[in-house]
């Protein structure tokens, strides 16, 4: 699933141009094609979460992947950019595979192993997201962009089959009117402020990760890289993902031992330091090393948030809580690139990392205050 989303990212702007879009509007429509998916997902995620709590997480996963066979594979046949955006919006409307898979695992795994299980799941998602752009760029060169969309549709068809036949869920469907209301779900959460804090943390984690996406290649060129710029940029971008991928399960298991709230606080402080160092890089090699070590922090952040949400939420409402968390993640995906582009335009590339660092630091201080004053350690 991670690969299917990221495979089309390397050439989406070129595809928009190929569809006959005026050259002075290519960037606008390419950005719109990407952001509308996240925005539609943010709006619809709570609705699908409510249905998942009533009918089960597996049906929602099958629903999401099967519809995206059409909306992602169908991009190969769009005649203009408006059909492209329409299908991208539909992709966002019917998305929800990842939050429901997270909720399914969180609801079935023993609480003392939640961090390890969700860390392993995060590894799969990160691995796919890393492999996707490499596969997509290579295949677009070899067989053409239209075939990449068809390959993505085929991969999503395989996901649908694997989910339908191989995933088992211990779930009893709830009749309409008998499910817990959202008010009842939140009523059973004793630390509502912690849950809200975790939602905001998810958004800031995503904002921090996405804020540098629009400017990272330009920043690398600013640091003196001229030859093989795109290749070097790809290596530096991937460096964070590889360290995150390998560290997530280990850190998730460690969080189960020392407390996921402690691991989250440590990861936030570590991320602040690494963002600050990124702003002080003087060569592309330095930046690549800092980004690689930064990945160890990101490998602990989202699994820690998911583990805490799983432990603080009643199972009857866990899909809705994870869907709300996913909404905040989507909001971070929309706000992050906008923040990075605006800061880079007015203050320069280095200031993107400074602003991101202070954003993470503020989140660390707020989280520390919340954990200290409201969280009962025995509950997590």
More confident call, 232 vs 166: 166
Which residues lie below 8 Å from residue 352, measured CB to CB, with a gap of 6+? 211, 212, 215, 219, 279, 339, 340, 343, 344
pLDDT value, residue 338: 78
Q: Which residue has the higher pLDDT, 343 or 154?
A: 154
Domain chopping of the chain, boundaries? 2-167+182-379
Specify the pLDDT at position 138: 79
Q: Please report the pLDDT score of residue 283 as a whole number.
A: 92
Q: Which residue has the higher pLDDT, 10 or 204?
A: 204
Instruction: Determine what percent of the chain falls in helix, strand and coil, rounding each to the nearest 5.
Output: 85, 0, 15
- Matching residue, tokens 């619809």: 44
DSSP string, 27-88: HHHHHHHHHHHHHHHHHHHHHHHHHHHHH-HHHHHHHHHHHHHHHHHGGGG--SHHHHHHHH
Q: Which two tokens stand for residue 251?
A: 């850190």
Confidence of residue 32 (pLDDT cuts 50, 70, 90): confident
Q: Would the pLDDT of 126 be above 90?
A: no
On the question of pLDDT at 182 being above 70, the answer is: no
Average pLDDT score over residue span 213-228: 78
pLDDT above 80: residue 200: yes
Q: Which residue has the higher pLDDT, 368 or 131?
A: 368
% of the chain with per-residue pLDDT over 70: 94
Residue-by-residue DSSP string for 316-374: GGHHHHHHHHHHHHHHHHHHHHHHHHHHHHHH-HHHHHHHHHHHHHHHHHHHHHHHHHH
User: pTM of the predicted model, to two decimals?
Assistant: 0.75
* Per-residue confidence (pLDDT) for residue 153, from 0 to 100: 96
Neighbours of 227 (CB within 10 A): 6
Average pLDDT, the chain: 85
pLDDT digits (tens, 9 = 90+) for 272-320: 999 999 999 999 999 989 989 998 888 888 888 988 988 888 877 787 8
For position 63, what pLDDT does the model report? 96
Inter-residue contact 147 to 76 (CB < 8 Å):
yes
Asked whether the predicted pLDDT for residue 117 surpasses 70, the reply is yes
pLDDT number for residue 134: 74
Is the pLDDT at 377 greater than 50? The verdict is no
Residues 8, 5: Cα–Cα separation, whole Å: 7
Written out in words, the top-level CATH class of the domain with range 2-167+182-379 is mainly alpha
* Among candidate residues 130, 205, 195, the one with its CA nearest the CA of residue 360: 205
pLDDT at 215 exceeding the cut of 80: no
Residue 111 has pLDDT above 50, yes or no: yes
Q: Does residue 334 surpass a pLDDT of 90?
A: no
The residue that leads in pLDDT, 211 or 269, is: 269
């Amino acid at each position: 699933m991670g690969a299917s989303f990221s495979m089309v990212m390397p050439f989406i702007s070129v595809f928009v141009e190929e569809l006959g879009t005026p050259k002075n509007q290519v960037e606008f429509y390419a950005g719109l094609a990407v952001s509308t998916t996240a925005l539609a997902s943010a709006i619809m995620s709570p609705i699908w979460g409510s249905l998942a709590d009533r009918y089960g997480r597996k049906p929602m996963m099958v629903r999401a992947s099967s519809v995206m066979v059409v909306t992602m594979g169908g991009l190969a046949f769009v005649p203009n950019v408006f059909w492209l955006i329409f299908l991208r919006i539909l992709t966002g409307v019917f998305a929800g595979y990842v939050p429901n898979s997270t909720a399914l695992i969180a609801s079935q795994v023993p609480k003392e192993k939640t961090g390890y299980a969700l860390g392993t799941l995060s590894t799969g998602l990160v691995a796919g997201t890393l492999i996707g752009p490499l596969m997509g760029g290579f295949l677009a060169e070899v067989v053409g962009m239209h075939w990449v969309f068809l390959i993505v549709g085929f991969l999503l068809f395989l996901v649908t089959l694997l989910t339908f036949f191989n995933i088992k869920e211990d779930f009893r469907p709830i009749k309409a009117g008998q499910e817990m209301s959202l008010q009842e779900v939140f009523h059973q959460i004793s630390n509502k402020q912690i849950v809200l804090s975790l939602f905001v943390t998810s958004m800031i984690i995503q904002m921090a990760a996405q804020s540098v996406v629009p400017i990272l290649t330009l920043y690398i060129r600013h640091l003196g890289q001229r030859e093989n710029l795109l290749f070097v940029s790809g290596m530096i971008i991937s460096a964070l993902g590889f360290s995150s991928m390998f560290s997530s399960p280990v850190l998730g298991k460690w969080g189960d031992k020392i407390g996921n709230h402690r691991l989250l606080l440590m990861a936030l402080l570590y991320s602040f330091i690494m963002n600050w160092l990124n702003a002080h890089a003087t060569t592309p090699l330095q930046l690549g090393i800092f980004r690689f070590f930064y990945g160890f922090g990101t490998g602990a952040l989202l699994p820690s948030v998911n583990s805490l949400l799983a432990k603080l939420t009643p199972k009857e409402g866990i899909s809705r809580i994870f869907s709300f968390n996913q909404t905040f993640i989507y909001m971070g995906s929309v706000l992050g690139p906008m923040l990075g582009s605006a800061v880079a335009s007015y203050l320069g590339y280095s200031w993107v990392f400074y602003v991101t660092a202070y954003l993470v630091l503020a989140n660390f201080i707020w989280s520390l205050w919340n954990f200290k004053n409201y969280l009962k350690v025995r509950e997590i």
